Amino acid sequence: MTSGGDCQALNAAMRGVFKCISNNANEPVEFYGFEDGYKGLIYGKFRILTGKDFKGILTRGGTILGTSRVPFKTIHEPDENGLDKVEAMKQTYYKLQLDCLVMGGGNGSTKTANLLSQEGLNVVTLPKTIDNDLWGTDMTFGFQSAVDIATKCVDDIHTTASSHGRVFIVEIMGHKVGWLPLNAGIAGGADIILIPEIPYDIKKVVKAVEARDKGGSRFTVIVVAEGAISKEDAKLSKKELKKKREKHPYPSVAYQVADEIQQKTGREVRVTVPGHTQRGGAPDPYDRVFATRLGAAAGDLILKGEYGYMVGYRNREIVKVPLEEVAGKLKTVDPNAEIIREAKLIGISFGD
């Protein structure tokens, strides 16, 4: 099954699992594809998958199984008909006499996978998300493809920003972490990058824009993570922040930054939001290779009867990481990381 927000290379990963198991098992193996993530397992929505289903999908974006979000925080709440979701998933698993559940998912989905593993089911997971925020793996599949798309957007904005002499803000996804905006920002040559892990001071952002003006640059390109936050707002409690945002509503933080720069500099500022295009389309070659390797590694674990792991990537090697080590932890950008230091050395401002 695939669970949570989709991303590129989910199909490539499933194909890897299928090919590895069907090529190497000593006996015929049946594959069940659960539709729309955990919903499929809860409500017994599945279809038998054969070799035909996996043909031609290496390069196909999205997921052939469909996906949905079944939030972990509501997993213990009964559904609208009073159904116990965890019990229902276990029932489906036992009724079909499954040997192992393979799940491609991000943070929340991996928490549910860990729960099912603790409940006694055999589970192996694959790390997918454009956010690259899964703990236990240096990289998730989908991330590189999203970096490609986000970078193309930052690249393309440069020509129009330069023609008009404008300040441009590109809002990049990544949920609460800055991996995607950081990488797309550096790859696209952004002048300022604002990420959640480094709360910004709007005065410093304005100063960086003005410094470019003084240096003779006609334009400034700013990458703002969708989860970026000002130093001021970072001090507020969740409740206080919600109240503040209700009082001064902006569609997103990128628009707030744009408004503040416009007011403080008098410059024309535009916002571009590539949004879900960052999750769309075909996986890039890196993700095709990466997801295939992870799929094969997951298949190999299953053939050996090793369960309760996420297959991941650490120090350039494919590894298995116990699910209980992964579940509930977020991999964030370290504000003191080398990559941040190097970006600052070449003059990129983080507004701090």
Q: Rule CB under 6 A: which residues touch ligand F6P?
A: 5, 106, 129-131, 173-175, 226, 279
Q: Which is nearer to ligand F6P, 105 or 308 (CB)?
A: 105
- Asked if 237 and 212 touch (Cβ cutoff 8 Å), the reply is no
**Which among 6, 36, 53, 131 is annotated as catalytic?**
131
Shortest Cβ distance from residue 185 to ligand F6P (Å)?
Answer: 15
Distance CA 104, CA 297 (A): 13
What is the identity of the amino acid at 238? K
Distance CA 1, CA 38 (A): 7
Q: Which is nearer to ligand F6P, 125 or 129 (CB)?
A: 129
Distance CA 217, CA 165 (A): 8
**Residue 79 annotated among the catalytic residues of the structure:** no
Q: Which is nearer to ligand F6P, 267 or 279 (CB)?
A: 279
Q: Which is nearer to ligand F6P, 153 or 209 (CB)?
A: 153
Query: Cβ-count burial of 64 within 10 angstroms (0-12 exposed, 13-18 middle, 19+ buried)?
Result: middle
How do strand 317-322 and strand 269-272 relate by DSSP bridges?
unpaired
How do strand 167-172 and strand 220-225 relate by DSSP bridges?
parallel
Shortest Cβ distance from residue 131 to ligand F6P (Å)?
Answer: 5
Q: Which is nearer to ligand F6P, 167 or 273 (CB)?
A: 273
Helix (H) or strand (E) holding 102: strand 101-105
State the distance between the two ends of the chain, measured CA to CA, in whole angstroms.
Answer: 42
Task: Please name every residue paired with 272 in a beta bridge, in sequence order, or none if there are none.
Answer: 170
Distance CA 131, CA 103 (A): 17
Shortest Cβ distance from residue 94 to ligand F6P (Å)?
Answer: 31
Catalytic residues: 131
